[in-house]
Structure 1
């Protein structure tokens, strides 16, 4: 296996074709300098549900961390999520207790592993599965790379914290592949595919292949359809997908998502005496869903499904899955998040404990575990504050780019983080010079200090709220004639309009602030960082919602600069 360079030092180093340096740099006149970023979550559900010593919060990963997959090696658990057009791709986390999770980087972080430059936001990396093969002491991550010409790919490593191989392109179509290692050393891949003849819209099948671990390729001619349509094809089930194979007490269990990844989402389970079927569905299906519950329930969690399960050293089982926390307008601005539940596998089929009831924000702590979330490098959850002075590298793993590496356009200068602008506007489906942070609460405040003086109307820098290229807000500084202007632009389904603008004096640094209370967003500014003025009252966060804008991502808060600005004061 190739050895991969990791970004472990504070010196400027070369990383797979780009330079990521933290040496002090002289600022260029057209570079925006950002510093003192603060994000604070203020969700009522967490204020109303304080934790006791024996409790922890679910979701365990807040914000857009969808399609979770989990595996175990000894006492070590690894969790990976979809990333779509986010760069680097496939965030990965480590835990020894399933409660406290540390980010250890990303699986796909080099140009040789990711081809996202022309991908729309909901293309790119779909539904990764992470697995450990004890027969060769190797971890595998298998996924679908939509766009970029890669298709279904697999990467490997002996240590998930020390880099992964370049992708191996797999010779089959479809999406959502998952790899399974049997206890006789054989391996299989299951995935979603199109049927030979579609009987209705959303009709899909689950297919299995034998896999050769020596050549890292499927064995031609071994493919077989093991589920057609879903649990009961006479009811025309849609989007059977995200399959995973497990083996327990000599029986093979196939778990899949069914119903689409929105309101009708669910998790279903099948059983067989053979890895290749035939598979019989459980009469208890679905084993996880929220679709049948009253729509106006308090603290609603919805869209539950796309799950993966793991055993523990104690013999207990747990499952991770995606779900959403809609705001008061039933809009999903935080995107699909990663939840966890204990799994009861005392009978023939596994069942998520409480998975068919209204999901609660708190869970009972596993025996002997101490809640360290938000401390000692572990991911925070509930309400928390994240601060970053943006004055040192490497950046926190929560900062990401879209379609291209953040390292290509950032550097650390005397006063903070400099963004060298691309000649790309945020409304284009191309790489932009924007550093993104996921929205992780329905109610939040995010602010940053900006030093910037545009010299032309094609230059702009500031903050964005970004659901996708065609649905976003831009809150930034540009130029008109001899004056600098702060403006707010709303782009709804590709149509942009200036909501408000005002002249500003950029001789001094400016503080920009975005606040949200559910669907109500405000964009504010200040010259001292304490007393903020509002630019244009309350505006709707509708365009930042997954179920308005479509696709699979949540809102991202961005630090943005461009030399191809299309937002002009009126």
Structure 2
């Protein structure tokens, strides 16, 4: 559905797979952290002076093996962090999920967003979507969500314990706070706030798909009793219908800037023809307070364009912090547009650590390309649009003593399917292209793109695949342990046109 004449669509401040945003002000700048699942390094940290332009600062999780992500589904792993600056020290709490269940919650600290961050310290608690709140009396409170333990209420509940910051341990009694505003819906993503002597609890309900919503409750004390804010949901796009250009809006966090203005960040998706491949992205929304509590998108009630927000077309300026592997460190170096990647034996279909390094696809229309020498490859080597271990499209060179071939393969719920197999020798430039509706794989030859195969984008969409992530545009190299590094030259990621050119 195109925007009305003279209007543009809201765009994310962090495009691509940057879900579950959490934000604070550290006294100097805004700090934003998002979920990373099994991408490694984990928990990307971005900083900004104006909430509009964000720069990567580093990652919270850089200690190899901490936490252990081996064997996890791509959409398990590191879920829903919260960042807070407590007396000049940044604190991040997060949960590692296994089989879509919270397995272990951790705490990390740092004095600078760029790190170094402390090694993850386990917290003795259950549930997931943890958060911290510094009360006006100096006490620090921990809250999270879990399966309801209250007879007749649920299915989920939010609970509270005190965090002893000196020891990093949870202490004192546990308090059950709230079971949500929506009957029969899970309540998640709690954020505790205080305003003018009254406490506010902002949460996510309705799942992470199109019915996602921001709900709220209020209380006279942090331990309760909590009463549902009758204005819930405070923000949602579920009532806009299946054709809304931005959907699944929810999982809010709120920050007060040094100028006294309040802003919120939420996640949202931008589907095309009913399916999104960019993952859940971070959007900025104005906020305010009135006598009833928090107001998100005052006077508008939905996400709207923010001046200055938008992803330009043209070649992407790469940063080393943009590139991630899966489930642990990958041996990867970059000098300009030349990348060297050490092959690994794990295939892309495994739950191990394949030889893969990628960056989040952040626009619907783009080209991802690289040149490789087909000689002396130790195994399949090339490019992939990687959504999941069971859903990805690859264009690669398969070496063989009888002669190498450029192979295009799609892996989805029907298993692997070879779509094209063409002999090749010498140096070859591989390309993945997408116009927002179709991924095209092929080579650059005689100055033009030669398409070898094409697949609908819906085969890599979350609505088809499931899970919580978007597509990684990746360099891949498979081979036995001890294989020599593969060199990818002239690696380019080019945004072909502005996203407004693709309408759902």
Is residue 519 from structure 1 mapped to residue 437 from structure 2 by the alignment? yes
1:513, distance to aligned residue in structure 2 (A): 1.2
Shift in Å, 1:266: 0.1
Per the alignment, residue 244 of structure 1 pairs with 191
Which of 275, 279, 285 lines up with 1:335 in the alignment?
Answer: 279
Q: 1:466 to 1:227 in 2, by over 3 A?
A: same
Provide the rounded CA distance (Å) in 2 between the counterparts of 1:48 and 1:467.
35
How much does 1:397 deviate?
1.1
Residue 346 in structure 1 maps to residue 297 in structure 2: no
* Alignment partner of 1:399 is 2:323: yes
The yes-or-no answer on 1:546 pairing with 2:462 is: yes
Task: Show structure 1 runs of 5+ residues with no match.
Answer: 1-43, 52-56, 365-370, 374-379, 389-394, 566-570
Q: Distance in 2 between matches of 1:557 and 1:169?
A: 33
Q: How does 1:458-473 map to 2 (within 5 A)?
A: 459-473=379-393
SS at match of 1:345: strand
Map of 1:119-130 to 2, 5 A cutoff? Answer: 119-130=72-83
Does 1:484 pair with 2:404? Answer: yes
Normalised by the size of structure 2, how large is the TM-score? 0.89
**Structure 1 residues 412-491: aligned runs within 5 Å:** 416-454=338-376, 459-491=379-411
Deviation sequence 1:409-465 (CA, Å, 0-9, x none): 224689932222111111111101111111111222221222232567xx1100011
SS in 2 for 1:483: coil
Residues 183-242 of structure 1: CA deviation (Å, up to 9, x unaligned): 111011110011126769x8110011111111111115x1111112x115xx32x12000
Deviations 1:493-521 (A, max 9, x none): 2611111111112x2x2111111122211
Structure 2 residue 311 is matched with structure 1 residue 381:
yes
Tell me if the contact between 2:236 and 2:302 (Cα under 8 Å) persists in the aligned partners.
Answer: no
Of the candidates 232, 237, 253, which is equivalent to residue 308 of structure 1? 253
Instruction: State the alpha-carbon separation in 2 of the partners of residues 414 and 363 from structure 1.
Output: 32
Give the Cα separation in 2 of the matches to 1:387 and 1:253: 41
TM-score (norm 1): 0.79
Q: Which residue does the alignment assign to 2:181?
A: 231
Give, in whole Å, the separation in 2 of the partners of 1:432 and 1:483.
24
Return the offset for 1:276.
0.7
Change beyond 3 A, Cα 1:355–1:330: farther
Structure 2 vs 1, CA of residues 184 and 460 (structure 1 numbering), >3 Å: closer, same or farther? same
Superposed displacement of residue 160, structure 1: 1.8
State the alpha-carbon separation in 1 of the partners of residues 127 and 300 from structure 2: 29
Determine which of 201, 214, 221 is the counterpart of 1:267.
Answer: 214
Does structure 2 conserve the Cα–Cα contact (< 8 Å) formed by 1:301 and 1:358? Answer: no
Distance in 1 between the 2:36 and 2:472 partners? Answer: 12
Matched length:
477
**Where do 5+ consecutive residues of structure 2 fail to align?**
482-504
- Would the aligned equivalents of 2:275 and 2:462 in 1 still touch at CA under 8 Å? yes
Measure, in 1, the Cα distance between the counterparts of 2:299 and 2:434. Answer: 30
Distance 2:317 2:133 in 1: 41
User: Could you tell me which residue of structure 2 aligns to residue 276 of structure 1?
Assistant: 223
Whole-Å separation in 2 of the counterparts to 1:115 and 1:400: 16
State the 1:50 CA deviation: 7.5
Q: Is the 8 A contact 1:320 1:338 kept in 2?
A: yes
Residues 60 and 115 of structure 2 are in contact (CA less than 8 Å); yes or no, is this contact kept in structure 1? no
Q: Which moved more, 1:482-491 or 1:415-424?
A: 415-424
Q: Deviations over 1:320-339 (max 9, x none)?
A: 01000001x21010000000
Cα distance between partner residues in 1 of 2:21 and 2:58: 15
Match of 1:556 in 2: 472
1:241-289: CA deviations, max 9, x gaps? 0001011101111000011111110001111110011111111110110
Alpha carbons of structure 1 residues 199 and 552: separation in structure 2 relative to 1, 3 Å: farther
2:452 to 531, 535, 542: 535
Kindly state the Cα deviation for residue 479 of structure 1 after the two structures are TM-superposed: 2.8
Distance in 1 between the 2:89 and 2:45 partners? Answer: 16
Take 2:410 and 2:123, find their aligned partners in 1: how far apart are those partners?
41
Shift of 1:401: 0.7
In 2, are the aligned partners of 1:331 and 1:519 still within 8 Å (CA)? no
How far 1:318 moved relative to its partner?
Answer: 0.2
C-alpha spacing 1:226/1:421, structure 2 compared with 1 (3 Å): same
Aligned to 1:132: 85
1:524 Cα deviation after fit: 2.0
Partner of 1:103: 56
